[in-house]
Structure 1
């Protein structure tokens, strides 16, 4: 017991008070992460799940919105970022939730795009819980290179 006390005092002198607090704080997301190698928190919300695909002429964004009505979704675009905001209302609000894995309540997410959109002919459609957004991009023509 005396050795443990010495170890704790030595660690406190070297690392400060936060060393033991980080190790024993069960609510910490850094539990079991080597000290000094704290992971950056994932600031980006997980829901709704989204895929970003890049083709030759357009970017396609697919967003899972199971159980969400089209009227409850709002999309905006600013520069190279697509913003989605909405509300997933519970299907059975009068029932008690036992377990839940599906998105419920309001949500907001920003989705970075690989490049700026070209023009304003963005097309979005909502079918069977999948929001598909097609964003045109400027194609760069091939350039001839002069060989000296």
Structure 2
């Protein structure tokens, strides 16, 4: 077995991956895990309709009290922490794939959208946020009197 020091494998890895956020996230998660930290990123779908922006996040095993949602400086921030299950000393795990720990996801909010106008619904481990889009004013004719 050969050991490879990831830091010398490609010293420009993080710089090069800045252009590809998916690779950067993967390397960042590997780097964090190698330090013993836990980080996970819940899966999210973002859909746009004529009047709304809809965000659905998979947060299995969490309760609504473990999730924080805030709007700050034009960003919608979803954060929380999923605790790991208590492990007994006599248990022998053959595979552990579920991630635990804290997470943060952020998204740009439509112009004019406020925290009060966002509708949040949490059911069966799925958080659904509906953000209304600002309606652009349609052109109107002005009559001369």
TM-score class normalised by the smaller sequence: 0.5 to 0.7
Task: Work out whether 1:118 is the aligned partner of 2:97.
Answer: no
- How big is the shift at 1:134? 0.7
- How big is the shift at 1:30? 6.8
Match in the other structure for 1:133? 129
Select which of 6, 10, 27 maps to 2:6. Answer: 27
2:113–2:132 CA contact under 8 A, matched in 1: yes
* SS in structure 2 of the partner of residue 74 of structure 1: strand
- How big is the shift at 1:46? 6.0
Match in the other structure for 1:109? 105
Tell me which protein shows more helix as a share of its residues: 2
* SS in structure 2 of the partner of residue 109 of structure 1: strand
Deviation readout 1:4-32 (Å, 9 max, x if unpaired): xxxxxxxxxxxxxxxxxxxxx6414975x
**Alpha-carbon distance in structure 2 between the residues aligned to 1:96 and 1:104:** 18
**Alpha-carbon distance in structure 2 between the residues aligned to 1:101 and 1:88:** 14
* SS in structure 1 of the partner of residue 138 of structure 2: coil
Match in the other structure for 1:50? 44
**Alpha-carbon distance in structure 1 between the residues aligned to 2:98 and 2:8:** 23
The alpha-carbon distance between structure 1 residues 128 and 134, as it changes in their structure 2 partners (threshold 3 A), is: same
Please provide the CA RMSD for this pair. Answer: 3.3
- TM-score w.r.t. the length of structure 1 is 0.62
- TM-score w.r.t. the length of structure 2 is 0.63
Q: Give 1 or 2 for the bigger CA radius of gyration.
A: 1
Match in the other structure for 1:73? 67
- How big is the shift at 1:96? 5.3
Select which of 51, 62, 75 maps to 2:56. Answer: 62
Length, aligned pairs only: 118
**Alpha-carbon distance in structure 1 between the residues aligned to 2:93 and 2:58:** 22
**Alpha-carbon distance in structure 1 between the residues aligned to 2:9 and 2:132:** 41
**Alpha-carbon distance in structure 2 between the residues aligned to 1:137 and 1:30:** 46
Unaligned runs of 5+ in 1: 1-24
1:47–1:109 CA contact under 8 A, matched in 2: yes
Match in the other structure for 1:22? none
